Structure 1
Amino acid sequence: MSIRLNPYLNFDGNTKEAVLFYEKALGGTLLGMMKFGDMPEDPEHPMTEEMKERIMHAHLQVGDSELMFSDTYPGMPYQPGDAVQIAIHPSDETRAREIFSALEEGGQVLMPLQKTDWSPLYGIVKDKFGVTFQVNVPIETGCV
């Protein structure tokens, strides 16, 4: 039996900005983006113009991995947090530095890129959207 998992990130009205940021920062490919307004409207539950413009679902391919995104409904409780972090494993240090640099723009470095016992280059950065990334170049043994 096979199973595949991917992070699904929620934002409060700025999903489109976040997806385009991650597409550039991570060198991803946008596979699709749909607004709530692209769906047939239920006359029993009309949408505001703001809601119609929010992103219902976005899908980004990053290497062999996928990220998915959605906006919340206006007024729905939303709090960015550290409950989930995304680990990125570029195969070389140059690409790791590029990714880290792009993610730290407008964000906060929690641990600068540095050599560790498990990686020739590892660091932690919280981006401008409050999402925390661990950037980790795997050692030659193939252990991530």
Structure 2
Amino acid sequence: MAAVSPYLTFDGNCEEAFDFYRSVFGGQFYQKTRLNEVEDETYLPEHEGQKIIYISLPIGARTMLMGSDRPADFGDGITGEKFSIAISVNSRPEAFRLFYRLSAGGHVICSLKEVVEGRWFGMLADQFGVQWLINYEAGG
């Protein structure tokens, strides 16, 4: 079966965002490449050389969170509400841990709570504007 990996684009703070995600999820970056490390970087101004062109952080067994900075020449990106990253966890304590760590500096949209017997759900936007859905189902 195919694996789906979210790819997030930032306006110059990709490294800061991924350092934050690594502090939440743990682990090490699989890859981290700056624009000035790419052989053919002629299409971008030199002052953008420290921006991240690709970064990836493994989360769990089959998920890779990936991202990059948006070159200034591409114009402003849109931080939208048309997508969220859903995470299903194996325990209620893990759900609370991720929920509170991801919401630090962001805002809670729906508090993490039991929505039906044995099923917990919460929704938040982190400090970078990325929306997260945290799910835990007892026995699931």
Structure 2 length as normaliser, TM-score? 0.90
Partner residue, 1:59:
56
Provide closer, same or farther for how the CA distance between residues 118 and 124 of structure 1 changes in structure 2, counting only shifts above 3 A: farther
Give the Cα separation in 2 of the matches to 1:28 and 1:92.
Answer: 19
Answer yes or no: is the 8 Å Cα contact 1:126–1:133 preserved in 2.
yes
Partner residue, 2:68:
70
Give the Cα separation in 2 of the matches to 1:63 and 1:3.
Answer: 15
Amino acid at match of 1:7: P
SS of 1:116's partner is strand
Amino acid at match of 1:50: H
Give the Cα separation in 1 of the matches to 2:103 and 2:97.
Answer: 10
Q: Which runs of 4+ in 1 moved over 6 A?
A: none
Partner residue, 1:4:
3
Gap runs ≥5 in structure 1: none
Answer yes or no: is the 8 Å Cα contact 1:111–1:124 preserved in 2.
yes
SS of 2:94's partner is helix
Gap runs ≥5 in structure 2: none
Partner residue, 1:98:
97
Provide closer, same or farther for how the CA distance between residues 118 and 59 of structure 1 changes in structure 2, counting only shifts above 3 A: farther
Alignment of 1:1-144 (within 5 A): 2-41=1-40, 45=43, 47-64=44-61, 65-76=63-74, 77-117=76-116, 119-140=118-139, 142=140
- 1:42 positional shift: 5.0
Give the Cα separation in 2 of the matches to 1:42 and 1:18.
Answer: 23
CA RMSD of aligned residues (A): 1.6
Provide closer, same or farther for how the CA distance between residues 118 and 37 of structure 1 changes in structure 2, counting only shifts above 3 A: farther
Q: Deviations over 1:4-54 (max 9, x none)?
A: 2211000000000011100111224311110011011455x4x33331111
Over the matched positions of the two proteins, sequence identity in percent amounts to: 28
Q: Deviations over 1:67-93 (max 9, x none)?
A: 100111114231111222001111111
Larger CA deviation: 75-84 vs 95-104:
75-84
Give the Cα separation in 1 of the matches to 2:87 and 2:4.
Answer: 14
